[in-house]
Structure 1
């Protein structure tokens, strides 16, 4: 087998607490800050050993050294480093110990309570979550992290249910945070009347950091109850308190549109006093909402938003989307051709998709190559070649790859992609020529070895022995790759060794329910006399890809009635 290429109040993340990003796959970490002057020479030496171990052997090896030093020194920077390493190493025991140390050394710091609570609830440990709330309150820390956790997990019914259950274990009846949490749950459960009854009083008690989100919650509740005017009044009042709030401004403009006050919303946007960056952000969001029913007004609005400040691509991208929506393909393409940065792939994808929709796919390759030269991104070319294949335009696929290879003649990704396309379109000799070149240049690349071996075994029976040598070499390099395992099993089948063929093909099928693997496994089972099992495998493969050529050819040869029943079902 060939292998082809809302309303959320964010909690303070660990990255803020630790001063660096968390990434479970990271094997290296920045050295810790210069140790505190209070460290003695012995402690300083141990820290250097721990850091050396981290750099040479990774987080898991360094974690015990850092944890031991954190217990000895009670230095906050060392404790935070230990928490980071425990997270990366996924060591729950070390994480519990280091968070406990953090709470002991800095009892008024919200971060260790918030992180511990999040981990406890993620593991379904409601009791531990309640205990951490109590510890935070005992230390004088208001547990707003509970509300932040809920807001981050609104889409998880289980986590919302866990927070609801935790509310029942909350010991302090009059806690402001507890009342806010209960109010938030009322909103989630659709009790908007209760929200608008209680929330105005709570708004007067909370710190400013919590108040903005509550205004949005209150406004949304009025909207849900059908009182749009009161919802609007709430947002206007909130903007008097938070005049620079992007979320409040966007909510107000969206509400104006919902109320049918389109011109008033546009006037409010222009009249609002906002810094340039905020005007751009709010304008982009507002124009997107406006474009749903008033695309021409949205385009006029976007033309009036200054491009300075780094949002040029976002503005042009949205303009292009709206032009395409209104049927002006020429204007859409003119704009989207110049969109790069974080939206580069979105622009390339949309450009190709629009041209296919307009029955002009022959224009795609030239534009994609121009963009790839500007952005120097081979991945976009590979992705568009895949789009051509999905559209059954192999001619455009090969033309695109050849254009790219003119500029990057030795790019192994482009060469491999071209070889796969040639192989799957009955041009094995050309494919093998490229694959042999790749195997010479990259003798330890399992994908190249497997592709060459498979191509030889299915196109040149006299080369079967050499083909299996290539595939066995690939398997020695990557024995968990279902494509390689499938090739090995098929090679044994072609050699007449049905039992080992079955073993490998069943392993490949267990790893990946692929149509070609299903075709191969079904054929082996059929030859072993297990025809019912073969039919079952083929039916499962058809359910995944009913148009795969190898699968269809196999079934036509052995059980064509399966295709007749498929056609009857489709009709």
Structure 2
């Protein structure tokens, strides 16, 4: 994991250019020639040597030569008394993934900028990565001493740093205790330790620390919210509700509390409880944008489109979150089949994170109206307009073509995408599904095995490979193993449950197959699940129920290939 460094300003670069007499001239010479000239000049003048190192480092960085850039800047940091040069050297060493140079540069940065907590943070994290715990503790103690005026913020910073490095997670609490040794126990101290314990999954220690914090400072909001988080994580809902009631009794009109609780409850998917908090927030402030937006999203997720529309429309009328609300009003209109209105809303999304989502929805609508050529042209325009979204747009175009049964074109699109992003698993998965439908099972299997080899916990690929082996051959034992691995990762996914039922059926275990297939059909009224479940029912003599399942699926999917083939094979009456 790379560290994020604030983008530096390098005054030394201007100094170097001035010393070399070329401050206003662009560098046109080949890189090697420029290096030779700079190093020759540096032999006669130490200041020029510094300037040469800075300029050489910047030239290398601009040309993507990360190792060279890090080496040149490490020399510059050793020569310079400018902390920004050391900061830049640290940044480049991290980008080059050169731990040794990063350690040296960060140590120099700390030496030159002893009041900068950011320098201590980076140096401490590098020490943690190197398992140099003694140095990390020393650096964190120095960082902690920089801001004695805000004890809570300083202690939380230490806790956050210790939680960010996986290599130190098992020792994190002990290291925190070493950093804070000699300090009197305070509520802030206990809270920071509890936060660290929560983040490194030491739940008992976290609960004990929260109890200590609240004993020292009853009704302290940060500690109460951390305690609530712990109860929600443990799924102790009755205890969580009691904590919430206690907070409301102490501060019944606190709007920020309602919003904080609502957001926390949403994080743990406690939808009803979150909705209650946001609804009560509106009783305090009827026009609160955060509560209106959150309630709109909740109602949307629950399929309550009329209620969601009221929330988003109210925000629009107040001129708040216009692009977000336009996008969701477009989705509501699309769900209702009002395509023209949906397109109008999507076109109103002009900024923010929903711009690309709205544009994609327009392409999807155009394709569903039968104008695939126009949809593809629009997606190509989006690739030019949003190059950072190019990968996602290749994925979307391939899926649209696949759903339109244009397999040849879909395959071309996936090949084009993979030419640019050869390791992308979504593109590989899409190509595999196209290959399978085109009858090239060996190519499909190869793509899926590549994904499983590189991402052993990809439940989607595990399930697809297992299902494919079930349908195209007799490797049932391997197929069952793959599908069970997928089910362990996603125990409630009806598609995986269906696959397990089907592979058990193909192995002759009809009774167990029925258990899984009936469960899958109860969760997902999918035509392929209907085909499988109906076939088991038919073989068990429950012909009328089988017909009922098939008919229910045929109403919505009258041309589904697998379902039609199953019905024709087993029940000529349909």
Alignment of 1:159-558 (within 5 A): 160-170=169-179, 171-174=181-184, 176=186, 178-185=189-196, 189=203, 192=207, 195=210, 198-199=213-214, 201=216, 216-217=225-226, 220=229, 224=240, 226-232=242-248, 248=260, 251=263, 258=274, 260=276, 263-270=279-286, 279=289, 283-293=292-302, 295-306=305-316, 311-323=321-333, 331-336=341-346, 338-339=348-349, 341=351, 342-350=353-361, 360=368, 362=370, 366-367=374-375, 369-370=377-378, 373=381, 376-377=384-385, 379=390, 382-391=394-403, 393-394=405-406, 398=409, 417=412, 515-516=442-443, 544=465, 547=468
The alignment of Structure 1 onto Structure 2 pairs a total of residues equal to 405
Kept after mapping to 2: 8 A contact 1:257/1:265: no
Structure 1 vs Structure 2 CA RMSD: 5.7
Q: 2: distance between equivalents of 1:334 and 1:158?
A: 51
* 1:393 CA drift (Å): 0.7
Kept after mapping to 1: 8 A contact 2:13/2:55: no
* 1:112 CA drift (Å): 1.6
* 1:203 CA drift (Å): 9.0
* 1:547 CA drift (Å): 4.6
* 1:328 CA drift (Å): 6.2
Aligned to 1:87: 94
Kept after mapping to 1: 8 A contact 2:50/2:80: no
* 1:517 CA drift (Å): 8.7
Aligned to 2:50: 47
Q: 2: distance between equivalents of 1:148 and 1:228?
A: 27
- In the superposition, the TM-score normalised over structure 1's length comes to 0.53
* 1:64 CA drift (Å): 3.8
* 1:109 CA drift (Å): 1.8
Q: 1: distance between equivalents of 2:178 and 2:4?
A: 26
Kept after mapping to 2: 8 A contact 1:67/1:79: yes
Kept after mapping to 2: 8 A contact 1:299/1:319: yes
Kept after mapping to 2: 8 A contact 1:317/1:336: yes
State the Cα deviation string for residues 1-39 of structure 1 (Å, max 9, x = none): xxxxxxxxxxxx7433x537xxxxxxxxx7856449999
Residues 314 and 154 of structure 1: CA distance in aligned 2, closer, same or farther (over 3 Å) = farther
* 1:75 CA drift (Å): 1.8
Residues 261 and 541 of structure 1: CA distance in aligned 2, closer, same or farther (over 3 Å) = closer
Kept after mapping to 2: 8 A contact 1:66/1:78: yes
Residues 252 and 70 of structure 1: CA distance in aligned 2, closer, same or farther (over 3 Å) = closer
State the Cα deviation string for residues 214-244 of structure 1 (Å, max 9, x = none): 57436656872623233346777876xxx7x
* 1:198 CA drift (Å): 1.9
Residues 343 and 140 of structure 1: CA distance in aligned 2, closer, same or farther (over 3 Å) = closer
Residues 187 and 324 of structure 1: CA distance in aligned 2, closer, same or farther (over 3 Å) = farther
Residues 124 and 300 of structure 1: CA distance in aligned 2, closer, same or farther (over 3 Å) = farther
State the Cα deviation string for residues 462-483 of structure 1 (Å, max 9, x = none): xxxxxxxxxxxxxxxxxx999x
Residues 392 and 263 of structure 1: CA distance in aligned 2, closer, same or farther (over 3 Å) = closer
